[in-house]
């Protein structure tokens, strides 16, 4: 069927007769469309930047497992200017672990030349895959954001970024879906688009027909490794909220209320004698969480959160996912057939030890004689560790590959308490103790690992 359609179109455009006269409105529409795309490109181009980074990333050993050390790599991505004073939004995976970040700015909307400026990481949200970086510049052409909740399926959009290192590449498409969950229980949703997106587009702009930022291009689904028309962008409303939190706090204090929700099924409702056949039942309420403090109980059925109906466990998880520590949510529940309303405080979700790696890669101090990047036990690091026995010590953040041969067996998350029986409270004390000894001297580090105190003994190289 495709060939006859193409031929018919050729006759329509090429004829000078009646069909040619009918084609003139079509020509005009196409010309107007082309002119509009050109205008959007000129408008948005200066607000989208090229990002080049030098990163330390986790090396992989056998069977794809992390080998426990870091290696140097070069990477490229894109970013969007959000504030004229140099603040740029990009994906966390573009700058995560970066030791050096450079931003390429287009001089203006008509020239190909770029100027390059160094950038610093303001903060990142690894869960959402967003980061904020800053360059020392003012008066920059920041993009305007559209309310992503108003976007519609089928709406025209454009992707602008640096796919495969090809700066200033524009592709066009439509919004394929406005709220796409990638996994059944995933609390995060994306804008899906068929505008071609490839590696290097990450952190770039998904634009609406007026050149406004509709989303941050983030990932694709592919079997070939390249674009197959299934791309995903973080909606602008979510991106803007995350940006504001990182600007304020340097990170996102991801929230939790301490419950385990399950979707109510007809079978479950019948077995438990529930008065509803849909909603979310709390199968567990965790100790010392906001839900327990609000007197929620296992078996409570949640029917709404902040006035919005809840029909699936994902609805509850998504609503809480958008909250940060210090906020609250209002739950409407059913308990023993009685309707109740509970206000639940959102507390900070427990940290994850593997996040030490990203902090160490950026700000860790290298102790060469231990072959490790170490961190102070401060308010940024402590939440990422399990409960530890002491309030002092030096934390091992990561092991750089080039110094792995000097490492006596330390791993990320270890807390060093003493060297040869001498207490270590600061990084400087650790360095002093290590360099007060000569090659061949015996060393015994007392560390805490997985809630246990152990010694690591070795001869200094």
What DSSP element (H or E) covers 415?
Answer: strand 415-419
**Residue 169 structure tokens:** 């590449």
Residue with tokens 């091992």: 396
**Active-site residue among 93, 125, 315, 414?**
93
Asked if 278 is an active-site residue, the reply is no
**Active-site residue among 52, 78, 148, 202?**
202
Q: What is the DSSP code (8-state) at residue 142?
A: P
> Do 215 and 148 touch, CB atoms closer than 8 A?
yes
> Do 85 and 74 touch, CB atoms closer than 8 A?
no
Asked if 62 is an active-site residue, the reply is no
Nearest CA among 102, 96, 120, 116 for reference residue 53: 102
**Active-site residue among 50, 76, 78, 129?**
129
Residue with tokens 């688009």: 193
Adjacent-strand bridge partners of 374: 365, 396
For helices 18-44 and 2-14, give the axis angle rounded to 10 degrees: 100
- Separation between Cα atoms, residue 364 and residue 374, nearest integer Å: 5
DSSP string, 161-198: E-GGG-SSEEEEEEEEEEEEESSTT-S-EEEEE-S---
Query: Reduced to 3 states, what is the DSSP secondary structure of residue 80?
Result: strand
Asked if 93 is an active-site residue, the reply is yes
**Residue 42 structure tokens:** 């000129």
CA 348 → CA 252, 289, 342, distances in Å?
A: 9, 10, 19
Residues belonging to the active site: 93, 129, 202
């Amino acid at each position: 069927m495709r060939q006859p359609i193409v031929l018919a179109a050729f006759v329509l455009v090429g004829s000078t007769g009646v069909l040619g006269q009918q084609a003139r409105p079509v020509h005009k529409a196409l010309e107007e469309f082309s002119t509009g795309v050109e205008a959007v490109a000129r408008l948005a181009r200066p607000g989208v930047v090229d990002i080049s980074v030098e990163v330390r990333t986790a090396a992989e050993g056998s069977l794809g497992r992390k080998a426990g050390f870091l290696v140097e790599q070069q990477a490229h991505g894109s970013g969007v200017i959000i504030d004229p004073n140099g603040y740029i939004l990009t994906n966390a995976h573009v700058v995560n672990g970066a030791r050096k970040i450079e931003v390429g700015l287009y001089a203006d909307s008509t020239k190909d030349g770029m100027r390059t400026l160094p950038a610093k990481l303001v903060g990142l949200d690894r869960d959402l895959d967003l980061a904020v970086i800053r360059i020392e510049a003012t008066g920059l052409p920041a993009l305007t954001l559209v309310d992503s909740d108003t976007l519609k399926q089928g709406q025209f959009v454009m992707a602008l970024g640096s796919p495969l290192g090809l700066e200033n590449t524009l592709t066009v498409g439509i919004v394929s879906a406005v709220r796409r969950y990638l996994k059944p229980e995933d609390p995060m949703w994306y804008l899906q688009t068929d505008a071609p997106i490839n590696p290097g587009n990450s952190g770039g702009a998904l634009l609406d027909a007026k050149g406004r930022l509709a989303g941050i291009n983030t990932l694709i689904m592919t079997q070939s490794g390249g674009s197959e028309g299934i791309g995903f962008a973080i909606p602008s409303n979510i991106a803007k909220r995350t940006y504001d939190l990182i600007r304020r706090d340097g990170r996102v204090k991801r929230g939790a209320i301490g419950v385990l929700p399950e979707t109510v099924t007809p079978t479950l409702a019948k077995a438990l004698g529930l008065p509803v056949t849909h909603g979310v039942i709390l199968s567990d309420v965790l100790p010392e969480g906001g839900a327990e403090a609000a007197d929620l109980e296992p078996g409570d059925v949640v029917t709404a959160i902040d006035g919005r109906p809840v029909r699936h466990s994902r609805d509850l998880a998504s609503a809480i996912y958008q909250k940060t520590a210090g906020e609250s949510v209002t739950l409407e529940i059913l308990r023993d057939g009685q309707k109740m309303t509970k206000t639940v405080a959102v507390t900070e979700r427990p940290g994850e030890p593997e996040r030490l790696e990203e902090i160490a890669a950026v700000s860790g101090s290298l102790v060469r004689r231990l072959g490790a990047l170490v961190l102070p036990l401060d308010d940024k690091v402590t939440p990422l560790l399990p409960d530890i026995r002491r309030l002092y010590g030096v934390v091992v953040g990561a092991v750089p590959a080039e110094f792995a041969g000097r490492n006596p067996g330390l791993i990320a998350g270890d807390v060093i308490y003493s060297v040869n029986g001498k207490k270590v409270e600061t990084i400087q004390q650790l360095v002093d103790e290590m360099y007060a000894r000569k090659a061949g001297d015996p060393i015994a580090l007392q560390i805490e690992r997985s809630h246990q105190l152990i010694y690591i003994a070795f001869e200094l190289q």
